[in-house]
Structure 1
Amino acid sequence: MRTLVKAMFTVIVLLLSYSCKDIKTEQDQSQTKKEVTAKDILGNPDYLAISYGAYREKTRDLTVQPTLSEIKEDMRILSAMGIRVLRTYNVHLPQAFNILVAIRQLKEEDPDFEMYVMLGAWIDCKNAWTGEEPDHEVESVQNESEIARAAALANQYPDIVKVIAVGNEAMVTWATSYFVRPGVILKWVNHLQELKNNGQLPKDLWITSSDDFSSWGGGDTSYHTEDLEKLVKAVDYISMHTYPYHNSHYNPEFWRVPEDEEGLSEMEKVEAAMLRARDFAQAQYRAVSAYVAGLGVEKPIHIGETGWATISDGHYGPKGSKATDEYKEARYYELIRDWTNAEGISCFYFEAFDEKWKDAHNAKGSENHFGLFTVDGEAKYVLWDLVDRGIFKGLTRNGNPIVKTYGGDKKAIMLEVLVPPAINE
């Protein structure tokens, strides 16, 4: 009898042992699944990306910085619509740090919550934003501390920060207030890569710079410098910007209705123009790809910014290129997401929410209206189907439930759709 009991005890111990091993294996697999890297995220359509600013006021003054509760409100909204990667732009203001704190708290509240960050480090030239003449040959003394803060945050939040972007449109020469030469960006990219190599930054952290397609060699050959070639080789991937929206004014040939389309209906003309806008973005992407390939470099290329505004009283409005309305924003978003998702390209769509500080003196300035949501949390036409599906049920922004713009009246939306000008206008 004792022998039988002993045998049964041994069997039970073995079963419990194997059961515990199975549980531990499942836990390990679950943990492993969540420990994603930039390489896993970028180009993965399961990790949709977006540019994000939490600012709700006409200023970014320290007295009106977004609160943790406001940021967590936004995180829940973006997560509900499938966004998993955010892009920020600087670390010298509290917003970036608060975004990381908010994400950490949401992860502690819900272990299944996922949100990652491409952390921007702002780069300026000497005298930028001071009222004095910018010196584009010398960098700002503030750049060093900006990079140091970005590195510190990447170390403090390695489970969230997966990319550091050195500068935003910091090399393109039309950024006359602050641009620097590629050598400055190269210096700081190399510095961060060296920190990685020395174990002072997470080894899987990716380093890039996010800039206009032309700054990455896809446009004017004046950008094709030795330092740019070195930079292409130094970054982990290329983050390029493309804006057919802005080019509807500055390079309108692709946008205007050609003679062979004059017989189309108004909405057919709009659709044809939006397809050309997508093709314009694709052409700029191919131009950067060709330049990089011409250097003998194989490097991932993703889209750090592209977007479409919904209000403009200037170059892009009724008296300009007529590119601006909610219908066109929705169509551009659909076309760009379809293309980039199919091709394995990450697109940090610009942007999540309207931010009225960007053109504080002109409420109808286009820079204030690139969001998929209004400041008060109304979902623009691009997101109406998500509202209908109940994706945002129970979620709020600024205390407001997520509802459709225009009171959900599609006829009102369509009345504001403007047909692009004819090629000969």
Structure 2
Amino acid sequence: MTIHTVPDPKGAPVPPVARPAEPAHIITSEAEAIEIAQRLAADFAKGASERDLNRIWPQAELDAFSQSGLWAIGVPKEYGGLDASWVTINRVIAIISEADPSLGQIPQNHLGVVAAIRTVSDPDQKDLLFAEVLKGTRFGNAFSEFGSKRAADFETTFTDQGDHVVVNGRKFYASGALLAHLVPIVALDDEGRAFYAIADRGAEGLSVIDDWSSFGQRTTLSGTVTLDNVRVPKTHVVPGYKGYAEPSADGAIFQIIQAAVDLGIARAAIRDTIDFVKNRSRAWVDSGVDHASEDPYTIQAIGDLTIRANAAEALLDRAGLAVDAAVAAPDETSVAKAQIATAEAKVLTTEIAIQATNKLFELAGTRATLAEHNLDRHWRNARTHTLHDPVRWKYAIVGNYYLNGINPPLHAWS
């Protein structure tokens, strides 16, 4: 189904979607995960420009993505999952993001919540929630709030009502929530501790409003979530705060997925730059060559972009290994190493995403700016997505770690 929308400033709630009729595929190897991601990406790329240009929700693509089993590859083996490495998960996200970075971003919080359940939930809760994930249930998110002074300040709260809790609040930047099946809500208890209250998307009092109006990442299915006495069974209330009370990989995991999205955006820009220069751009008048692809300055620039993208990819793989080590044996040292390696990858993926999407127009020429090509979507996506968790603070925590021996703070933004 094609859904062509414009943001709704009047705030009409969007109805929930049905759960999948059939269970999702179960992926049995990391090689299979990469193969499936590559196959899906080839399909997703075909309509990515049109979806961006006309703000068409990727409903069919999202169903194919979650039903493929890729959203469940982080589930531990003892609960029926693949327990894929974070090197592989990052590669999957980068592959999908090169095809369509909105689709690459949508599962970010789903994967983060799956990791948090692994860290903080008791065995019964893991059995229950991981079974949902393996069936193909999609988690959205209702984490961030629009008017707070800092990202970690929350006004959404819940009250204990025996076998369930009641949640009240308002959220924004709720990527994936429009077409989610379950919506994890960050809400505070009466002691100020943050939990994930995982509500049914169709729960009474939970409304998702399609008012996301950013110029980039236009089809991440984000918007405002309002919570008016939403009931959530205690079986679905996850003590997320425990993931930051002691060292865990949870914060680095939320961050590293963002870096994988940015790498995918950079790769897409470099790919389209090469295609345009080879097939559409004209050689410069003073170059003395017949084809733009023979221009020595263009050749140098493509080499520079490619080297930087490859360096970013290598740092992302390195960070994935560090996260895997922190998941396997979390302590102050392993978690700090994972955070620092992830911050380093975030710096390079941010820089190459911005550089490549800018350089595209310089190298491809004026013709590349024509609306029919919609190549500005790469810059818009890069500029929008790299605003998650400002990279200037990544330089700061890396410098403080190596210069002064100070570990990064434990939270989801570090």
TM-score (norm 2): 0.29
Greater fraction helix? 2
TM-score normalised by the chain length of structure 1: 0.28
